């Protein structure tokens, strides 16, 4: 890296192929995680204060 920052505007910018819809990921038996949409505030809270309890609450468990 040369120190420059990049700005990504499309959801596919960081992937080699488009991501499938969350419903398709959630029904894939090979996946080991539960896809969940988060607000920026909830993501920031989880990022700065990781909590398995909060993750469970967000996943509806």
Residues 4-42 pLDDT 10s: 656 566 655 666 677 778 888 788 777 677 778 888 898
Classify residue 53: in a domain, yes or no: yes
What is the predicted pLDDT for the residue at 57?
80
Domain hosting residue 60, numbered range? 33-61
What is the predicted pLDDT for the residue at 21?
82
Classify residue 48: in a domain, yes or no: yes
Count: domains in the chain: 1
Residue appearing with tokens 């420059």: 4
CA 27/CA 5 separation, integer angstroms: 35
Q: Is the pLDDT of residue 45 over 70?
A: yes
Confidence class for position 46, pLDDT limits 50, 70, 90: confident
What is the predicted pLDDT for the residue at 39?
85
Residue appearing with tokens 């959801």: 11
Classify residue 41: in a domain, yes or no: yes
Classify residue 50: in a domain, yes or no: yes
Classify residue 15: in a domain, yes or no: no
- Using only the alpha carbons of the chain, give its radius of gyration: 15
2-14 per-residue burial string, b: 16 or more CB within 10 A, e: under 16: eeeeeeeeeeeee
Q: Is the pLDDT of residue 1 over 60?
A: no
């Amino acid at each position: 890296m040369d120190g420059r920052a990049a700005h990504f505007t499309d959801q596919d910018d960081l992937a080699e192929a488009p991501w499938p819809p969350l419903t398709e990921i959630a029904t894939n038996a090979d996946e080991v995680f539960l896809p969940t949409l988060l607000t920026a505030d909830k993501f920031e809270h989880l990022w700065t204060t990781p909590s398995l309890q909060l993750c469970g609450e967000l996943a509806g468990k």
